[in-house]
Amino acid sequence: MPQPPRSRPTFPVTLQRPSVPAAPAPSRTRAAASAPPSPPPLSATPSMASEAVRQRMVQRLAAQQGIADERVLRAMGAVARHAFVDGALAAQAYEDTSLPIGLGQTISKPSVVARMIELLLAAPALADQPQGRLGRVLEIGTGCGYQAAVLSHVAKEVYSIERLRGLHEKARANLRPLRLATVHLLLGDGMQGYPAGAPYAGIIAAAGGADLPATWLDQLAPGGRIVAPVQSGNAGQALVIIDKTNTGVERRFLEAVNFVPLKSGIA
């Protein structure tokens, strides 16, 4: 039987931590709603801020990486990746490489971001609306905020959770100029998901463990899809997609990937 619609708190709001320290409730913030301005120019290397540079990256994603979904290609071309990395690394921002963002974490390769979002958009629930937008999406591992910004172009609402306080603050600073009203940043334990925003049409993770937490499956809507890395025996990590159907769960393993480990708690 469908559940009655939940009432959601007004944004921005800070959620109180529960008394049990092992699973603190995340706090969340949201940028003020208004039309997003153009990304600020990069003073060190102004040519990197041009749309032409991003479009060349998009062309490579299509021609060399096989990304075919126009929604994904448009989203990748709309977000200035150089604005999410340190100025010293800006010259590499549109290369297909991961880059350090501090605290032992990295911003994923553009091809990996595009691939995972394309898989999310290929969920069976969207098969009859090939140009449709995803509903509510949960991102595990905000990092510097780049993938959340890309997701905002293909999903109606994005909840993004980060366990490292320093990265949560960095993502807030990076996303603030874009004023994305549909992106909600959460500081909390990603392994617990975010039940207050559930159910989710999609869940995407930027960290991998031995298996997916059961909480993610619980918070996934019927017809929804999870795209995440998981440990695949002694062979390292593999990308997995999980579809939640009315009769159960379907799991499919794809190519090998290399993500940071999935950890619990807040640091």
18 Ramachandran zone, left/alpha/beta (phi>0; psi -120 to 50)? beta
Instruction: Decide if 108 is catalytic.
Output: yes
Helix, strand, or coil here: 7? coil
Helix, strand, or coil here: 266? coil
Task: Name the active-site residue from 27, 38, 50, 108.
Answer: 108
Q: What phi and psi, each to the nearest 5 degrees, are found at residue 188? A: 180, -175
Contact residues for 84 (Cβ-Cβ < 8 A; gap 6+)? 93, 101, 107, 144, 145, 146, 149, 174
- Which residue reads 């990395």 in tokens? 85
Q: Is the dihedral of CA 164, 168, 169, 174 positive or negative?
A: positive
| Residues 188/16, Cβ–Cβ less than 8 Å | no
Catalytic residues: 108
